[in-house]
Structure 1
Amino acid sequence: MGQMRAVLCGYYGYGNGGDEALLACLLQMLPPHVTPVVLSGNPHQTERRYGVEAYPRKAPLTLFRVLRGADALIWGGGSLMQDATSAMNPLYYGGLMRLAQLMGLRTIAWAQGIGPLNRPFSRWLARQTFRHCQGVSVRDQGSAALLSSWNISCMLAPDPVWAMLASPVSHLWDLPAPRIAVALRSHPCLTPTRLEQLIHALVDFQVATQTCVLLVPFQATQDLAIAQAIRSRLKGPSQILQLDNPQELKGVFRGVEMTIAMRYHGLIMAASEGCRCFALSYDPKVSRLMAELELPGWELAQLPEDPNQICRVWLDCYANDQALSDDRVHSLVDRALMHQDLLSQVLRQS
Structure 2
Amino acid sequence: MYKVLISGFYGFDNAGDEAILQSIVSQICNVSRDIDIVVLSACPEKTSSEFKIKSVNRFNFLRIISAIRNCDILISGGGSLFQDRTSISSFWYYSAIILLAFILKKPVFAYAHGIGPIRSRFNKKLLRFVMNRVAKLSVRDQRSKTELQNIGVSREITTTIDPAFLIEPVSREESVKLLEKEMGQSIEGRRRIGFSIRFWEEEGHVDVAGIFAKVCDRVKKELDADVLLIPLHNKEDVTLAENIASLMTEKATIIKEKYTPAQIIGMYGLLDVSVCIRFHGLVFSIMNGTPVVAISYDPKIDSLMDSLGMNKVIRYGQINEDIIYNAIQEEFSRREQISPVIMKKYHEFRELAQKGMNEVISYMKGS
State the TM-score bracket (shorter-chain normalisation): over 0.9
Q: One-letter code of the match for 2:65? A: F
In the alignment, which residue of structure 2 is the partner of 1:175?
Answer: 187
Instruction: Tell me which of 269, 284, 304 is aligned to 1:269.
Output: 284
Q: How does 1:89-100 map to 2 (within 5 A)?
A: 89-100=90-101
CA distance in 1 between partners of 2:318 and 2:306 (Å):
16
The question of whether the paired residues in 1 share the 8 Å contact of 2:219 and 2:227 is answered with no
Distance change >3 Å, CA 40–CA 165, structure 1 → 2: same
Which residues of 2 match residues 172-321 of structure 1 at below 5 A?
A: 172-173=179-180, 174-175=186-187, 177-188=190-201, 189=203, 191-242=205-256, 243-293=258-308, 294-304=310-320, 307-321=321-335
**Distance across 1 between alignment mates of 2:249 and 2:291:** 23
1:342 has 2:343 as partner:
no
Other structure's SS at 1:348 match? helix
Instruction: Return structure 1 stretches of 4+ with deviation > 6 angstroms.
Output: none
Compute the displacement of 1:349 (Å): 4.7
C-alpha distance in 2, partners of 1:296/1:195? 23
Kindly indicate whether structure 1 or structure 2 has the higher relative contact order, using CA contacts under 8 Å at least 6 residues apart: 1
Name structure 1 gaps, 5 residues minimum: none
1:328 to 324, 332, 345: 345
Distance (whole Å) between structure 2 residues aligned to residue 39 and residue 194 of structure 1: 33
Q: Kindly tell me: are residues 303 and 192 of structure 1, through their superposed partners in 2, closer, same or farther at Cα, counting changes over 3 Å?
A: closer
Q: Find out whether 1:165 has 2:181 as its counterpart.
A: no
Counting aligned pairs with the same residue, the percent is: 25
Letter in 2 for 1:157: T
Tell me the matched-pair count: 346
Alpha-carbon deviation of 1:157? 1.4
CA gap of 1:148–1:34, structure 2 versus 1, over 3 A, is farther
What secondary structure is seen at the aligned counterpart in 1 of 2:13?
coil
Q: CA deviation at 1:123?
A: 0.8
Range with bigger deviation, 141-150 or 151-160: 141-150
Corresponding position of 1:17: 15
Relative to the length of structure 2, the TM-score reads: 0.89
1:236 to partner: Cα distance: 4.5
Does the CA contact (< 8 Å) of 1:212 and 1:236 recur in 2? Answer: no
Query: How far did residue 219 of structure 1 move?
Result: 1.0
Alignment RMSD? 1.8
Q: Which residue of 1 aligns with 2:24?
A: 26
Cα deviation for residue 244 of structure 1 reads 3.5
Alignment of 1:103-182 (within 5 A): 103-149=104-150, 150-167=153-170, 168-169=174-175, 170-173=177-180, 174-175=186-187, 177-182=190-195
Q: 1:195 to 1:228 in 2, by over 3 A?
A: closer
Return 165-174 or 325-334, whichever deviates more: 165-174
The secondary structure found in structure 1 opposite 2:269 is helix
Q: Are 1:207 and 1:235, in contact at CA under 8 Å, matched by a contact in 2?
A: no
| Structure 2 unpaired stretches of 5+ | 181-185
Once residues 57 and 67 of structure 2 are traced to their aligned partners in structure 1, the CA distance between those partners, rounded to angstroms, is 10
Aligned-pair distance for 1:231? 2.1
